[in-house]
Amino acid sequence: MTVFSPRPMSLYLSLGLALLVLSLVSLSLGSSRFPLEQALAELFSEGQGIYSLILVELRLARTLVALIVGASLGVCGAALQGLLRNPLASPGLLGSSSGAALCAVITLYFGLHSELPWLLPLAGIGGALLATALVYLIAGRDSSITTIILAGVAVNATCAAGISLAINLAPSPYATSEIALWLLGDLSKTSLDSLWLMLPFSLLGWLLLAGCGRGLNALSLGEQTAQSMGINLPRLRLRLFIATALAVGAAVATVGSIGFIGLVVPHLLRPMVGYDPARLLPASALGGALMLLLADMGVRLINTQTPLQVGVLTALVGAPFFLTLIIRSRREAL
Amino acid sequence: MTLLSAQQLNLSRRDQPCLAQVDLTLEPGELVGLIGPNGAGKSSLLQCLAGLTQPDSGSIRVQQQPLHSIAPEQRGRLLGYLAQQGEIHWPISVERLVSLGRTSHLNSWQQPSADDLAIVEQALQQTDTLHLRHRRATELSGGERSRVLLARLLAGEPQLLLADEPTAALDPAHQLSLMQILRNFVQTGRSALVVLHDLNLASRFCHRVVMMDQARIVASGPADQVLTPERLAQVYGIRSAVIQHPQAGLSILPYEVIATAASSLEDY
C-alpha cells in the first residue's frame, strides 16, 4: 500500500482555522444569554460592565484553558507514542497525570484550597514533577522501553492507591464528592488566574517538545540506529520526561484528569501526516485543542440535571471511537 | 590517513568475553569483510566501532580522533551503521525513511533541501528501490527492506560504513549488486566494514577478510590467505573445497560438518 503523501501545512492551517471558528462559537456559549456585540462594545469602552466581565473572566478563560490543556494532552501523547514507538502510550504514562492528581487530591482532602486557591494547581504541578522524576529514577538512564513502561505503571498504580485512600478516608461526604468530581475533569471552574498559573509551565513543556521532532523521527528506525545517526538518546529522553511532566502536570493540575485526548488524537492524525512523528507533534497539539474545545462545548450544550463533567464526555466519546479505530486498522492489516 | 584504528579492544558481558584484544585498522578505499561463526563477536565489534557500545578497555580512533571525543552529530556524519535487525516502527514512506539518512546533516529545525533530496534520490536509484519510494516501509519484503535500509545509510554519505549482515535477506542477484554498491562506495576513498556469512561474497568482493572466533581476530588478509580449508575446519568446524574458478575467482564449497563439531552440536 502506498502512503498518502501529506501536505502538513494545509492540515495545520485547516486545524487552526477550525480552532479559530470554534473558539468564537465557544465564547458565545454559556448559561446566560446576552448579545455578544454588547459585551464587545463594553470591552472597548471605558467602563467595565457585567457582560464583558462574563466574556473575559469566564468564557475567554474557559476557552483558552481548554485550548491549552487539549494541546498539551495531544502533543504529549504524540511525543510519548514516538519515544516508546507504541501507539497505545498515553500522556500520563510517565506518571505526570497521576502524580498531579494525587497531590491535588491531598490538597482537596485537607481543604487547603478553600483558603489558598492557587495551592491546588501548584501542588498538582509539583506532584507531576515528583512522580515523573520517580519513574525516571526507577527506570534508569539507559533503560529499555519495557522498563520505562513498567516503572510508569508502578508509579501510576501507587498514585492511584493514594487517591483511593484519600476518597476512602475523606473527612466528609462533601470532600469525597469534591475529590471525585475533580478527578472527572472540569473546565467550569477555570478563571484567568488559573490560566496565568498554568501558562508558563505549559509553554515551557511545549518549547522542550518542539526540538524533539528530529530525534523522534530517527527513533522510527530503532534506538541503535537513531544513536548511530547522531541522536543523543539519554538527553532526548530526559527532555521528553521533563516536558510531559510540565505540560501534562499543568493541565491535570488545572482541570483534573481528562482521558483519551492524548491517546486518540495522535492516533487519528498520524495517517494524515504520513506517519511522521515530528509532523505529528504540531498536528496533535492543534487536534487535541480542537477535541477538548468540542467536548467542552458539548458539556455546555447537553442539558443534564447535574452538569456533565468534560472528562466523562471525552471518555464516553473517546473509548468507542478508539475501538472503531482499532477495528478499522485490523481490517486494513488483513 | 587511516580512517579507523581500534587497539586492544576488550569487552565482556556477564563474564563472557565478547571481544578480547581486538586490533583493527581500516584504510581509505578498503572494503573489509568481517566473518566468523555465530557468537564470535562480530556484531559486538561493529557496535563498539559505531560508538553504540563502550568497550571495557582499548582505544578507537576515527580519522585520528578518539571516538568518544567526537560529538554525536559529527559521529553520525562520519560513520554509518546498519543494524543486524533493521527496525521500522511506523509505516512511513520509503522516501521519507531514506531521507532520515540526512538527519545528522540537518539541525533540529531544518527541512531537507533540494540537494538533500537529490542525494536521497540517488541512494534510491543505487539500491534499485526508486520504484518503491511511495510504498509503506513496513510492508516491504525482506529483500526490499534490506535495500531500503542500505539506501538510508548511503543517503547519509558517511566516510565509513559499518554494516551487519546486509546481504542476509537478499536473493543472489541483489546480493551481488549490493556488494557491487559497497565496492563503488569505497572507491572514492571511503571504507566499509561488512559482516558477512557468505564466504564467497567475502572472497569475491572484499579487499581484505578479517576472521573472528571466540571474541578474537584469528586471521586478517586477502581472501586466498585467510579462507584456507584448514582454517575453515578449525574455526567453523566444516570440511570445504576451495576452488579457483575462472570467472568467480576463489570459491568456497563447504560440504561436511566435522564429526567432533557435529557431535558437540548434537549435545544441544
In a domain, A13, yes or no: no
**Do the Cβ atoms of A2 and A270 come closer than 8 Å?**
no
Q: Tell me the CATH number at A212.
A: 1.10.3470.10
In a domain, A23, yes or no: no
Q: How far is CA A153 from CA A103, A138, A289, in A?
A: 18, 11, 26
The alpha carbon of residue A228 is apart from the nearest alpha carbon of chain B, in Å, by 6
Max Cα distance, chain A (Å): 66
List the beta bridge partners of residue A255.
none
In a domain, A10, yes or no: no
In a domain, A114, yes or no: yes
In a domain, A17, yes or no: no
Distance CA A75, CA A261 (A): 10
Chain A CB within 8 Å of residue B112 CB? no
Q: Do B92 and A85 touch (CB under 8 A)?
A: no
In a domain, A141, yes or no: yes
**Which of B43, B44, B75, B89 to probe the A interface (max A CBs under 10 A)?**
B89
Chain A CB contacts of B100 below 8 Å: 217-218, 220-221, 229
Chain A CB within 8 Å of residue B87 CB? yes
Chain B CB contacts of A217 below 8 Å: 100, 103
Q: Do B100 and A1 touch (CB under 8 A)?
A: no
**Do the Cβ atoms of A241 and A83 come closer than 8 Å?**
no
State ipTM: 0.90
Q: Do A221 and B152 touch (CB under 8 A)?
A: yes
Distance CA B183, CA B190 (A): 10
**Which of A221, A273, A280, A281 to probe the B interface (max B CBs under 10 A)?**
A221
CB within 8 Å of chain A, chain B residues 37-56: 47, 50-52
Q: Do B52 and A227 touch (CB under 8 A)?
A: yes
Domains, chain B, in order of start with CATH, read: 4-227 (3.40.50.300), 228-268 (no CATH)
Q: Do B92 and A218 touch (CB under 8 A)?
A: no
List the beta bridge partners of residue B65.
B62
Tens of pLDDT, residue by residue over A30-49, are: 666 666 666 667 667 766 67
Q: Do A275 and B92 touch (CB under 8 A)?
A: yes
**Do the Cβ atoms of A147 and A83 come closer than 8 Å?**
no
Tens of pLDDT, residue by residue over B248-264, are: 888 999 999 987 644 45
Please list the pLDDT of chain A residue by residue as tens digits (334 residues).
666 556 788 999 999 999 999 998 888 776 666 666 666 676 677 666 777 777 777 788 999 999 999 999 999 999 999 999 988 888 888 999 999 999 999 988 888 877 887 888 889 999 999 999 999 999 887 778 889 999 999 999 999 999 999 989 988 888 888 888 888 888 888 888 889 999 999 999 999 999 899 999 999 999 999 999 999 999 999 999 999 999 999 999 999 989 889 999 999 999 999 999 999 999 999 999 999 999 999 988 888 888 888 889 998 988 888 788 778 877 766 5
> Domain range for residue A105?
28-333
The alpha carbon of residue A269 is apart from the nearest alpha carbon of chain B, in Å, by 13
**Do the Cβ atoms of B61 and B4 come closer than 8 Å?**
yes
Closest residue on chain A to B94 (Cα): A3
In a domain, A55, yes or no: yes
Q: Do B86 and A276 touch (CB under 8 A)?
A: no
- The total of structural domains in chain A comes to 1
In a domain, A97, yes or no: yes
